[in-house]
Structure 1
Amino acid sequence: MVSARLALFLALAAMPSPLLARDYGQQGIHFPIIENDLLKQIKSKLHAMEASGEIDRLNQKLKAQTIARVNRPKPVAGLIRADKTITRLFDPTITLQADIFDHDGRKIWARGTGVNPLDTVPLRAALVFLDGDDPAQIEWAFAQKPKTAKLILTNGAPLKLMKARQRRFYFDQGGKLVKHFAIGALPAMVDQQGRMLRIREFALPGRREQNQ
């Protein structure tokens, strides 16, 4: 009998009591949920920009900026004109971080091995780094031998110089090469000496001529 009463009490206790249910009414101001279609908003904005000619103006601006950047890339920061001539050697050897396999799956180099790229791919032409806005550096570069050296600008207008000099110029975008070789002053030259790279920075006579 006691168990039956206990079960009945628990069942009644689990049922929601109408005495505990309350209507708290409306609290604050309510607004209807209205959400505009994002794609429609974007299309509407584009149509308005096209009608006003803003898209064409933006395209022309982007085109002009691109042409300007190609004609004169962003200069490599932190470089100065050399005030003394220095020579040092650079070891290009790298330590492999993983095993290297050939196309047949055979291991050709083990992880931890030191590999010198010059053993398989020699530096066929010297690399000459220049400030293209310094006429003295340009004249110095063209006086160097051999004439096969690759002329790499860190500042200046490569296309303009190619047209004027009838010689290919490269540009060290982002300064990746000068950072790799730790070059801090110009002009500089990198060439191969056996299994090492020789890096030279040259002090030129006279002061840099400023372009007007």
Structure 2
Amino acid sequence: MCLLGIATSTEARDYGQQGAVFPVIERDLLAQIQSRLVAMETSGETRRLNAELKRRTIARVNRPEPVAGLVSATQARSWAFDPTITLAADIRGAKGELIWAKGARVNPLDSVPLREPLLFIDGDDPDQLGWALQQNARAKLILTRGAPLALMKARKRRFYFDQGGKLVKHFGIGALPARVAQEGRQLQVSEVALPAKAGAQK
């Protein structure tokens, strides 16, 4: 009881004002953003930033970031690639019917065959480009470096680009040019060593 009385009296004590008290004043965050945007618009910074973003976007579309780590093939190499995957979840149709159960092993080539080969090349290498253009006329030409839009305009053929190198990493390709073609229920991946140019070696 004594402790309770002491605590009660302590809580009720008036300590008075210990110093000057100022109101808390903060600028509204949206007002700060609006002020900054107005200043940027007035100074022309917004226009400059938009122009720079447009320039970079166009440059990236015309010449995407090249895939790092690839070299020109100096010797032929070939291996089989099994595209079979194990499903991590059930695959169901539009009406909810079960098509494939979780855990099933599925080979995509059974339903979507690779009818034409995939040719991976460095679009800035004229030898690799020439090799690719001499192959199957319906082959998909996939760049890992170069300007796909400019090549399409000049060659009148569709060119693709392996953004981020996802395909070459998936197939394990380390040297170019390379070909991926279907053989039965597997894919055959080949790195092709092109003939050396005369006088290229010292």
Q: TM-score, normalised by structure 2?
A: 0.88
Q: Does 1:69 align with 2:60?
A: yes
Q: Aligned equivalents of 1:26 and 1:105: distance in 2?
A: 71
- 1:5 match: none
Aligned-pair CA distance for 1:151: 0.2
The 3-state SS of whatever aligns with 2:57 is helix
2:110 aligned to 111, 115, 119, which one? 119
Q: Aligned equivalents of 1:158 and 1:180: distance in 2?
A: 21
Aligned-pair CA distance for 1:96: 1.6
Matches within 5 A, 1:16-55: 16-17=8-9, 21=13, 23=15, 25-26=17-18, 30-55=21-46
Aligned-pair CA distance for 1:108: 3.1
Q: Aligned equivalents of 2:92 and 2:33: distance in 1?
A: 51
Aligned residue pair count: 196
Structure 1 residues 15 and 133: CA distance shift in structure 2, 3 A: closer
Matches within 5 A, 1:82-93: 82-93=73-84
Q: Aligned equivalents of 1:78 and 1:84: distance in 2?
A: 17
- 1:192 match: 182
Aligned-pair CA distance for 1:150: 0.4
1:154 aligned to 144, 161, 174, which one? 144
Q: Does 1:57 align with 2:64?
A: no
Q: Which stretch shifts more, 113-122 or 102-111?
A: 102-111
Q: Aligned equivalents of 1:206 and 1:140: distance in 2?
A: 13
Q: Aligned equivalents of 1:141 and 1:193: distance in 2?
A: 20
Q: Aligned equivalents of 2:67 and 2:147: distance in 1?
A: 13
Q: Aligned equivalents of 2:7 and 2:92: distance in 1?
A: 72
The CA RMSD measured in Å over matched residues stands at: 2.3
Q: Aligned equivalents of 1:100 and 1:149: distance in 2?
A: 31
- 2:200 match: none
- Percent identity over the alignment is 61
Cα distance per residue 1:160-203 (max 9 Å; x no partner): 11111111100000111111111110000001001010101001
Unaligned 5+ runs, structure 1: 1-8, 208-212
Unaligned 5+ runs, structure 2: 198-202
Structure 1 residues 17 and 98: CA distance shift in structure 2, 3 A: closer
Cα distance per residue 1:28-79 (max 9 Å; x no partner): x654311111111111111111111110000000000001001110001111
Of the two, which has the highest radius of gyration? 1
- 1:3 match: none
Q: Which amino acid aligns with 2:83?
A: P
Q: Aligned equivalents of 2:94 and 2:50: distance in 1?
A: 47
Q: Which stretch shifts more, 153-162 or 92-101?
A: 92-101
Show structure 1 runs of 4+ deviating over 4 A.
Answer: none
The 3-state SS of whatever aligns with 1:160 is helix
Q: Which amino acid aligns with 2:150?
A: K
Q: Aligned equivalents of 1:93 and 1:14: distance in 2?
A: 78
Q: Aligned equivalents of 1:149 and 1:94: distance in 2?
A: 25
Q: Aligned equivalents of 1:58 and 1:33: distance in 2?
A: 36
